[in-house]
Structure 1
Amino acid sequence: MIVAMLRVMALSLIRDRGALVMAFLLPPTIFVIFAAIFAGTSGDELRLQVALGVGEPSSLSERLVAALRADDSLRVLPETYATADQVVDEVESGRADVGLMLQGALEQTTSTPAVVYVDPGKVMAGAILAGQVQRVIGIDLPDLALARSAPTIETLVGGFTPEQSARLDAAIAQLAENGSSDAENQAGLVESRTVGPQDGSGATVTYYAGAVAILFLLFSAMQSAATLIEERHSGIIDRIAVGPAGTDVVVIGKFLFLSVQGIVQVSLIFLVAALVYDVEVISHLGIWLLTTLVAAAAAAGLGLAVAALCTTKQQAQTISTFVVLLCSAVGGSMVPRFMMPPWLQEIGWFTPNAWTIEAYHGVLWRGEGLAELLPELSWLLALGMVGTLAALAVSRLRLRL
């Protein structure tokens, strides 16, 4: 009997081609995604998007800018900004992961000439950029390192003689020409400052509130939408189809239910975030509610489309798990997208997770209004409508077959 039971289950899986493919395709696919993410965080594929500004142009700043733009570990925005406010605006808007402003003469030691501007929710990005700047200077501008350390040494030893000063100037000129990296002391060169509200935990909580919200929206929508398959097999849809509206009432009714269910789920998540972590939901209630509505609609539409396309409940469970895990891993629900390789970040824009997280972060952290959020809201609404229309079309087609 044991062997017979094994044979029955094996045949059931083999005959369900969709479930068979997804059962053995899902594990290696998820492994590849996470391997790409975490290998990138410790290698050359982690390429931060940097907004770069130069307040006092000089030959040294031009060399540093050129070296930073040539560095494969960074993605410097094409424009070089003239003020710190412009750099901060790029970081606060999310168009850049982190900003760097060269605001003074680099060789001076009386003030910090390079300032890194970082979003409190991306503190790691600021530390990484500061380290990259130090590394680039040590490799490509060793003369700057020596020039900055020379005044400190001169103070400690009581001053240089004219001959020593001449030899020091010659050594600096030689380093500038040859690019040797023997000197690597750039103390006081880089300073980090946070932008926006000065509460890193609040930024992180806001990010993950949106990330968890869309994750559970997808899970619940996929699970509830699978009842469409059970109703199809039990003949309920055939009996409803006799009516004037056909199968449309089933799909539209499920869409409305899933959307309302999603709104309640997200409301509970953000209620806890507001009460426990002081996330400002009430002050942005209108735009937050609109974001929640379109996010729930997107999850409902996607869930119904998957359920309509699947032929068995086992197939629906496997495919829905695959879709949810894939979207969540690539879209930023599990790991922040700025830590991913650039190619994976681009793929993430094809998931509802990335758009939902950006929308919630824009509403609750950056204080964006409807005009700024139109791309995110439009994409999510379009996904919900396309998914629902696909479910309607497939349901009608199955009724004719």
Structure 2
Amino acid sequence: MIFAMLRVMALSLIRDRGALAMAFLLPPTIFVIFAAIFSGTSGDELELQVGYTVLAPSPVTERLETALRAEPGLRVLSDNPVDEAALRSAVEAGRADAGILVRSALDSPSDEAPIVVFVDPGKAMAGGIVAGQVQRLVAETLPEIGLARTAPLVEQLVGGFDPGQSARLAAGLEAIAADAGDTPAEGGGLVAQQVVGGGGNSGGAVTYYAGAVAILFLLFSAMQGAATLIEERNSGIVDRLAVGPAGTDVVVIGKYLFLTAQGVIQVGLIFLVAALAYSVDVSADPLAWLLTTLFAAMAASGLALFVASACTSKQQAQTISTFVVLVFSAIGGSMVPRYMMPPWLQDVGWYTPNAWTIEAYHGVLWRGEALADLTGSLLPLALTGLLGLLASIAISRARLRL
């Protein structure tokens, strides 16, 4: 009997071609995606997008910009922000992962760091990485800067340089500048970090992951609820309802409305805990938050019903839905922030509802964007929900005619 049961289950899997493919082809696919993500977070593929602004241009700052653009771990914006306000705006709006501001001459002695790295609190790791990269590039490509900044302090300690010593010092600095890269020097005290943007009392990371977890569980719960469509279709319930004037449409639309309402309540509970435990200020713009939640729930419901309608068995639906949720959540930013991914994977992430939902929530709750500014994020979610619903209706009608 044991081997008979084994044979029955094996034949059941083999005959279900979709479930067979999902069981043995998708695990390697998942591995490839996660390998690309996590190798990018710890290897040479991590390329942060940065803005570069200079308040007092000079040949030295031009050399620094050349080094920054040649650095494989950084992607400098093609159009540099013109001033500090524009640089801050680029970081706050998410167009740059960090901003590099050269606010004073690099070789002038001062207690204030001449270079400031602006970073959003939700991307704190990016600030540390960029600051370290800038510090290293200054030491490697501008070795004379560190010595020029420390020379005045040495001069004060020894009671001043005579003209001959000053001339030899200047000549030495020029020689070091000419041989930059061969004589690295320390650039300590050159770079400082500064947090920009944000509102409310919650941290940027908490606000980010509130949206990330919300869309993750919206997808999971919607996929589970939509799978009942397959059970009702196999049991004949859909066929009996199809004799009515509305056909199978009432089943699909009814499930869509229920899953959307259920999703709104689920997200509401997530943000209630976020507000009580972590001071996430949902009340700052409740209408924008509600619309973001509604469109995210619509997108998850439409996508889930499309998957359920396309699948022929519950086993197949479970496998495919798990695959869809894991992949979308991985490349969309629910598991790892997208700025830590390779650039090509960041671009792919925009084809998932996760990326748009996280961006919308971050805009509402952290950047304080108005409803009009969220149109670019809400429109893809609305289209995903609508297209998923229409596709599910069309597939259900086609199955009824077969």
TM-score greater than 0.5 by the shorter chain = yes
Q: Encode CA deviations 1:185-239: one digit per residue, 9 max, x unaligned.
A: 1121111110124789521111101000000000000010011101110011111
What CA distance in whole angstroms lies between the structure 2 residues aligned with 1:171 and 1:29?
57
SS in 1 for 2:56: coil
The separation in 1 between residues aligned to 2:117 and 2:28, in whole angstroms, is 39
Cα distance change of structure 1 residues 191 and 366 upon mapping to structure 2, 3 Å threshold: same
Aligned match of 2:105: 105
Deviation at 1:51, TM superposition (A): 1.3
With 99-108 and 145-154 compared, the bigger mean Cα shift is at: 145-154
Are positions 1:92 and 2:92 aligned together? yes
2:80 alignment partner, SS class: strand
Deviation at 1:4, TM superposition (A): 1.5
| Aligned pairs (5 A) from 1:272-351 | 272-351=273-352
C-alpha distance in 1 between matches for 2:268 and 2:398: 36
Aligned to 1:366: 367
Q: Secondary structure at the match of 1:333?
A: coil
Would the aligned equivalents of 1:247 and 1:396 in 2 still touch at CA under 8 Å?
yes
Conserved? CA contact 1:149–1:185, under 8 Å = no
Contact 2:109 2:149 in 1 (8 A): yes
CA distance in structure 2 between the aligned counterparts of 1:167 and 1:336, rounded to whole angstroms:
51
Shift of 1:242: 0.3
The answer on whether the counterparts of 2:48 and 2:126 sit within 8 Å (CA) in structure 1 is yes
Name the structure 1 match of 2:2. 2
1:245 CA drift (Å): 0.5
SS of aligned partner of 1:81: coil
8 Å contact from structure 1 (residues 120, 200) kept in 2: no
* Length-normalised TM-score, structure 2: 0.97
Q: Cα offset for 1:101?
A: 0.6
Deviates more, 1:29-38 or 1:64-73: 29-38
Equivalent residue for 2:33? 33
1:206 corresponds in structure 2 to 207
Partner of 2:177: 176
Distance 1:138 1:43 in 2: 22
Report how far residue 78 of structure 1 moved. Answer: 1.1
Q: How does 1:1-400 map to 2 (within 5 A)?
A: 1-110=1-110, 111-197=112-198, 202-400=203-401
C-alpha contact 2:214 2:270 (8 A) present in aligned 1: yes
CA drift of 1:87 comes to: 0.5
Q: What is the distance in 2 between the residues matched to 1:145 and 1:32?
A: 44
The residue type paired with residue 97 of structure 1 is D
Query: Secondary structure of 1:6's match?
Result: helix
Q: Is the 8 A contact 2:143 2:187 kept in 1?
A: no
Greater mean alpha carbon deviation, residues 156-165 or residues 10-19: 156-165
* Aligned length, in residue pairs: 401
Return the alpha-carbon distance in structure 1 between the equivalents of residues 156 and 125 of structure 2.
35
**Which blocks of at least 5 consecutive residues in structure 2 are unaligned?**
none
Deviation at 1:15, TM superposition (A): 1.3
Where structure 1 has 5 or more consecutive residues not aligned to the other structure, the ranges are none
Shift of residue 123 of structure 1?
1.0
Residue 27 of structure 1, CA deviation = 2.2
d(CA) in 1 for partners of 2:35, 2:154: 47
- Specify the code of the residue in structure 2 equivalent to 1:68: L
Summarize deviations over 1:263-300 as a string: whole Å, max 9, x none.
00000000000111111101211110000000000000
Q: Is the 8 A contact 1:113 1:190 kept in 2?
A: yes
Q: TM-score, normalized by length of structure 1?
A: 0.97
For each residue in 1:68-95, what CA deviation from the matched residue of structure 2 results, as whole angstroms up to 9, or x when unmatched? 1121110111122232111000011111
SS class of match (1:44): coil
Contact 2:50-2:96 at 8 Å conserved across structures: yes
Q: Which moved more, 1:106-115 or 1:290-299?
A: 106-115
Q: Distance in 2 between matches of 1:159 and 1:27?
A: 70
Q: 1-side partners of 2:246 and 2:231: how far apart?
A: 20
Tell which deviates more after alignment, 85-94 or 177-186. 177-186
For the Cα contact (< 8 Å) 1:121–1:201, is it kept in 2? no
After alignment, is 22-31 or 133-142 more displaced? 22-31
Describe the SS at the equivalent of 2:193.
Answer: strand
Q: Label 1:205 to 1:45 Cα distance change in 2 as closer, same or farther (>3 A).
A: same
Alignment RMSD, CA only? 1.4
Between stretches 213-222 and 41-50, larger displacement belongs to 41-50
